[in-house]
Amino acid sequence: MLDLRRLQLLREFSARGTIVATANALGYTPSAVSQQLATLERETGVALLDRSPRGAELTDAGRLLVTQSEEILALVEATESILAEQSDVALGTVTVTAFPTAAVAFAPLLAPPLRRHSEMQLVLRQTLLASGTQKVQSREVDIALIDDWTGQHPGRTSDSGLRHVHLLKDSLVLAVPENHRLADPSRPVVLRQLLGESWVVAPEGERSRYGTDRLMAEVGGLPSATWEFEGLGTILSLVSSGIGIAAVPALAAVSAPSGLVCRSLPAPTPERHVYAVLRTGTLRRPAVQVTLSALRGAAHTVEEQLAELTDQAPEGSVR
């Protein structure tokens, strides 16, 4: 009989492309991965990998087994969820991964509601990579918090087998030093006022730079000086020190340092949507349902925090 863990290992190799990358992703040694895949070949009776001094790649039989393993693992997972549903108690571990600003905002809000479920454990991991969906698909995690700037619901175009649950909308805000000329909440921000300002931005190509680039395209000019730094927390700290202004998602400013003011931008404001993505086969698992409920409750609280974060832009704000 095929070992499910080895099937999952084969799927991971298919996604990563090399033994070393597979080992690094799963926390194994390369030799352990090779041994497990060799054992799977003995179980199936066919060669699954074509090995050479330059590496290894899947054979036709290996690719076929990877395709079949998707259905096998999904069916097993769905069956486990159905069986778990027979119990009224949320059991086991639920692993959630989140991008940095979501992890910081959601973590303190998830602990209280989950304390009522002593038989389950939540593991929340922060990730710096835009790999949440991939981690869910590979079964490294149960739920991933992801962001989307396109405005198109990712569930409409994503591969089957995933469910996207919308949690909140996160608008871009303008962060300025508290003594800056644009810090006065009684005066709405006008985009042409941003011309010639010194900006603190993420490096080009970073996901957190996307909203800023859209805003600068609307402003129609180049900043007088640009400071490029990794991490929204670092950017906000530098704004508070007075070296420039920044456009950041409001979610990042929830835990911003003192010394800065967040201003609403005129509509239409660049915004992103935050989703929880999970495999449909886990939806009936009580522990996953409890976690989703806690995420929705936390998202509602975060939305209230975001509403209080900035001044409300008056209707008809000048662009």
Report how far residue 307's alpha carbon sits from residue 310's, in angstroms, rounded to the nearest whole number.
7
First-residue to last-residue Cα distance in the chain: 66
Question: Cα dihedral sign for 22, 26, 31, 35?
Answer: negative
Residue 157 belongs to some domain of the structure: yes
Number of domains in the chain: 3
Helix %, strand %, coil % for the chain, to 5?
45, 20, 35
Residue 80 vs residue 47, higher pLDDT = 47
d(CA 106, CA 255): 11
pLDDT of 50-104, one tens digit each?
A: 888 888 889 988 888 888 887 787 777 777 666 666 566 667 889 999 998 999 9
Residue 132 lies in a domain: yes
Structural domain contains residue 148: yes
Which residue range(s) make up the domain with 67? 4-84
Residues 174 and 131 grouped into a single domain: no
Which of 132, 147, 4 lies closest to 65, judged by CA? 4
Q: Note the pLDDT tens digit of each residue in 141-189.
A: 999 999 988 777 676 544 568 999 999 999 999 999 999 999 998 888 9
Structure tokens at 43: 């179980």
Shared-domain flag, residues 127 and 148:
yes
Q: What's the CA gap between 275 and 181, in Å, rounded? A: 36
Residues above pLDDT 70, as percent of the chain: 88
Q: How many CB atoms lie within 10 A of CB 89?
A: 12
pTM: 0.72
Dmax over CA atoms of the chain, in Å, equals 75
CATH classification of the domain holding 26: 1.10.10.10
What pLDDT score was predicted for residue 315? 37
> Pick from 84, 106, 141: which residue ends a domain?
84
Read off the CATH number of the domain in which 117 is found: 3.40.190.10
pLDDT band of 134, cuts 50, 70, 90:
confident
